[in-house]
Structure 1
Amino acid sequence: MSPAAVRFGSDQVFYTGTGFPYAGNETVVELTYLYQAAPWLALQPDLQVVINPGAGMPSIYSRMPLKNGVIGGVRATITF
């Protein structure tokens, strides 16, 4: 987020009394591990945590800031 965008969010709250101040950043933390289940099969679970998605800016879908999110998945690699 640019400093100007963060100031705009704060000014909007100050002058209109509505909205939410914007955060200065969005943070993503990712954990992953590669497990060799067999010589021909590898499994890789993945977990991501998103903190301050969209830096608290409203979108066309919602005027409220997005909540923190958790995303999980698994990748399978088969070698022939």
Structure 2
Amino acid sequence: MHGQTIRANDIVVLRWGAANRDERRFACPDALDLSRSDLREHLAFGHGIHLCPGRELAHAEVKIAFDQLLKRLKFPVSRH
């Protein structure tokens, strides 16, 4: 993998957060750019048959949390 040999019985540690920061895959991986063309290609919720079954719940929880935060800070909350 990327020039490294993984042999039988080697210990491999998966770091999903690090995968989303690979400069070979994502331009400026540390920048928050919500308009980037590959926005939906990160590994946070998987892809295809490996899609996280809790994805929709996580999205709903984040929306509710931000709605409540903005409400408490007295920011108008858009209901799309």
TM-score, normalised by the number of residues in structure 1: 0.23
Structure richer in strand, relative to its length: 1
Which one has the largest radius of gyration?
1
Query: Which of 1 and 2 has higher RCO (CA within 8 Å, sep 6+)?
Result: 1
